[in-house]
């Protein structure tokens, strides 16, 4: 295994795939309101509505 570490590579020519429904995503829905006592935001798939990530506020 190389010991060069992990790199971030800009790839705007590719689209991410939802890990749940496996559709290509050209947008991701964001819910910012209604999360009690928090400024967190929920990112979810526009097709299957399953949660992709939760970012703390
Ligand atoms: Zn999905």
Q: What is the pLDDT of residues 3-57, one digit of tens each?
A: 778 999 999 999 999 999 999 999 999 998 877 778 899 999 999 999 999 998 7
Calculate how far, in angstroms, residue 27's C-alpha sits from the geometric centre of ligand 1.
11
Alpha-carbon distance of 9 to 46, in angstroms, equals: 25
- Cβ atoms of residues 49 and 30 within 8 Å: no
Calculate how far, in angstroms, residue 38's C-alpha sits from the geometric centre of ligand 1.
25
39 burial type by CB count under 10 A (0-12 exposed, 13-18 middle, 19+ buried) = exposed
- In eight-state DSSP terms, residue 26 is S
What residue segments make up the domains of the chain, in order of their start? Answer: 10-57
Calculate how far, in angstroms, residue 21's C-alpha sits from the geometric centre of ligand 1.
4
List 31's β-bridge partners, or say none.
42
pTM of the predicted protein model: 0.77
Calculate how far, in angstroms, residue 16's C-alpha sits from the geometric centre of ligand 1.
11
């Amino acid at each position: 295994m190389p010991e060069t570490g992990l790199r971030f590579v800009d790839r705007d020519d590719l689209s991410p795939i939802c890990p749940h429904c496996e559709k290509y995503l050209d947008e991701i829905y964001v819910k910012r309101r209604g999360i009690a006592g928090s400024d967190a935001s929920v990112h979810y798939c526009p097709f299957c509505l399953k949660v992709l990530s939760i970012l703390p506020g």
